[in-house]
Amino acid sequence: MPGKTYEIIMQKIALFSLKSRLFRLAGWLALGLAIPGSAQVVTSDNPVPTANEAPLTLTLQDALARAKVNNPEYRSAVTDARLAKEDRVQSRAALLPNVNYNAAFNYTEGNGTSGSRFIANNGVHEYISQGNVNETLSLANVADYRRTSALEAVAKAKAEIAARGLVVTVVQSYYGFAAAQRKYATAQRAMEEARHFTDISQKLQQGGEVAHSDVVKAQLQFQQQQRDLREAELEMNRSRMELAVLMFPDFNQNFSVVDDLQMLEPLAPFADIQAAAANKNPELRAALASLKAANQEVFVAWNNFLPSLNLNYFYGIDANHFATETNGVRNLGYAATATLQLPVWNWGAGRSQVKQADLRRDQARVELSFTQRQLLAKLHTLYEEARAAHAELDSLSQSSELAADSLRLTNLRYQAGEALVLEVVDAQNTLTQARNAFNDGQVRYRVALANLQTLTGNF
């Protein structure tokens, strides 16, 4: 009877667990959300992945390529660069002659003769069908074209700044996720070590070799490691979602990353980095281009005081009949006009525009000077950060190896009755901290290198 009762209870528990899972599944589907643990959000073009579907394995370059497609800040900077390019195209078009076709019909009340009542009109019926070539010669247009060219260079430099900033963001998230996976594995190993130590302490207590307080301390350590494992899992899932937001438009979480933290890039000499920063820094290029654009704005403002010449050439008909010839008279012909415009008085608006342009140019000069100083300071700071992170990696690796060896020796000494339980617990915690510190050190160097490359480009 006790065995049968136990089977009935277990069957009820299993049935209750199945009902709970079905209710949760129905709730997720009703909210239109992805089922926990699934790969993707369910859409018409994205079927529900099966449990056996292999995760997508991504390298850092894959993550960067996907982030460039889906990151709104980077896409905004690229769009601004493309818009600036179109502005330059439009300003260039203002320098070139344009061709238009004019077609019109004017009707005027007649005066009883062959003429019209309005003396300004050419007749009762007037037909216009002409091609028009127009060209405006102005130094202001030339300066405006140069200004838009400089602004295009500014926009391109800002797009490159956004791209390099995106690299830093992706590197932080990518290797942060890789490190979080390592920390989770470390936490699992630490929990198993704590479990094993608890078993050892219990056996030694049964043999009368240690006090019950050692078992209590071992159990407390095991419970702490269980909590740390849950926290490590939470951090791993958080970093996974953070990376997924950067890479996927549909919030796909069914992916893995290639852990290449151990494949460290060497740090170039400072002289090479300084030369690369002088030639390839987009912030400096943007500041220089902004100053060039400000100079052209001054030229545009001063050119408002200079004359401009407008040329027009017409070919077609402007006649009382819509025909190339009327009563033997040829209507088809050409005409040309040239208009010289001399600015005389505009109530100080032109002078005010010159003052505005001068103020913008002075501001651009200040910003260029500040960018140059800031570049030098950031270059030294980021290089020292990368060098320090790289120099500490060997020490962190040795500390991790020493901590593992220390735990092994401390466990042996404890089993031989030569070490206290607190020494074992301290050795376990030291090993976990050393491993996590080594992982953080590798991520720190990767991020420091990415930050340095925002000033120099890839080297």
| The pLDDT of residue 16 | 45
**Mean pLDDT value of segment 95-118:** 87
> Which amino acid is it at 78?
V
Highest mean pLDDT, choosing among 8-17, 106-115, 335-344: 335-344
- 110 assigned to some structural domain: yes
The answer to whether 353 touches 248, Cβ cutoff 8 Å, is no
Q: Does residue 125 have a pLDDT over 90?
A: no
333, β-bridge pairs: 316
Give Cα 146 distance to the centre of its chain.
30
**Mean pLDDT value of segment 330-339:** 94
Long-range CB pairs of 367-375 (<8 Å, 24+ gap) are: 367/287, 367/290, 367/291, 368/287, 368/288, 368/290, 368/291, 371/283, 371/284, 371/286, 371/287, 372/284, 372/287, 374/283, 375/277, 375/281, 375/283, 375/284, 375/455
- 316 assigned to some structural domain: yes
Over residues 224-256, the pLDDT tens digits come to 999 999 999 999 999 999 999 999 998 888 999
* DSSP states of 320-344: SSSSSEETTEE--EEEEEEEEE---
- 264 assigned to some structural domain: no
130, β-bridge pairs: 102, 316
- 337 assigned to some structural domain: yes
- 324 assigned to some structural domain: yes
| Residue among 97, 105, 93 nearest 130 (CA) | 105
CATH code for position 105: 2.20.200
Phi and psi dihedrals of 15, rounded to 5?
-65, -40
Tokens of 87: 């502005």
Over residues 269-308, the pLDDT tens digits come to 999 998 988 888 999 999 999 999 999 999 989 988 889 9
Over residues 375-396, the pLDDT tens digits come to 999 999 999 999 999 999 999 9
Q: Does residue 100 have a pLDDT over 70?
A: yes
**How many structural domains compose the chain?**
1
Least confident of 321-325, 386-390, 426-430: 321-325
Percent of the chain with pLDDT over 90: 68
Q: Does residue 117 have a pLDDT over 80?
A: no
The answer to whether 427 touches 399, Cβ cutoff 8 Å, is no
Q: Is 114 helix (H, G, I), strand (E, B) or coil?
A: coil
* DSSP states of 31-94: TTPPPTT-SS--BTTBPPPPTTPPPEEE-HHHHHHHHHHH-HHHHHHHHHHHHHHHHHHHHHHT
Rounded-to-integer distance, Cα 432 and Cα 219, Å? 17
Rounded-to-integer distance, Cα 297 and Cα 303, Å? 10
Phi and psi dihedrals of 12, rounded to 5?
-65, -40
| The pLDDT of residue 183 | 96
| The pLDDT of residue 53 | 67
Model pTM score: 0.76
Residue 369's Cβ-side half-sphere holds a number of Cα atoms within 13 Å equal to: 6
The answer to whether 424 touches 210, Cβ cutoff 8 Å, is no
Phi and psi dihedrals of 127, rounded to 5?
-115, 130
Q: Is 111 helix (H, G, I), strand (E, B) or coil?
A: coil
114 pLDDT band (50/70/90 cuts)?
Answer: confident
| The pLDDT of residue 335 | 94
Q: What residues have CB less than 8 Å from 22, skipping those under 6 apart?
A: none
207 pLDDT band (50/70/90 cuts)?
Answer: confident
| The pLDDT of residue 390 | 93
- Residue 32 backbone class (left: φ over 0; alpha: ψ -120 to 50; beta: rest): left
The answer to whether 407 touches 429, Cβ cutoff 8 Å, is no
- 183 assigned to some structural domain: no
Q: Does residue 159 have a pLDDT over 90?
A: yes
Rg (C-alpha) for the chain, rounded Å, is 39
* Cα–Cα separations (whole angstroms), residue 4 to 13, 14, 230: 14, 15, 37
Q: Does residue 6 have a pLDDT over 60?
A: no
* DSSP states of 192-259: HHHHHHHHHHHHHHHTTSS-HHHHHHHHHHHHHHHHHHHHHHHHHHHHHHHHHHHH-TT----EEE--
| Residue among 292, 359, 279, 315 nearest 100 (CA) | 315
Domain with 117, as residue range(s), is: 98-137+307-342
| The pLDDT of residue 24 | 46
Over residues 406-417, the pLDDT tens digits come to 999 999 999 888
**Mean pLDDT value of segment 420-447:** 94
- Side by side, the strands of the sheet bearing 308-319 are 98-107, 125-137, 308-319, 333-341
Over residues 21-73, the pLDDT tens digits come to 444 444 444 444 344 444 333 333 333 344 456 888 999 999 999 999 999 99
Q: Does residue 180 have a pLDDT over 90?
A: yes
| The pLDDT of residue 315 | 96
Based on the number of CB atoms within 10 Å of its own CB, is 304 exposed (0-12), middle (13-18) or buried (19 or more)?
middle
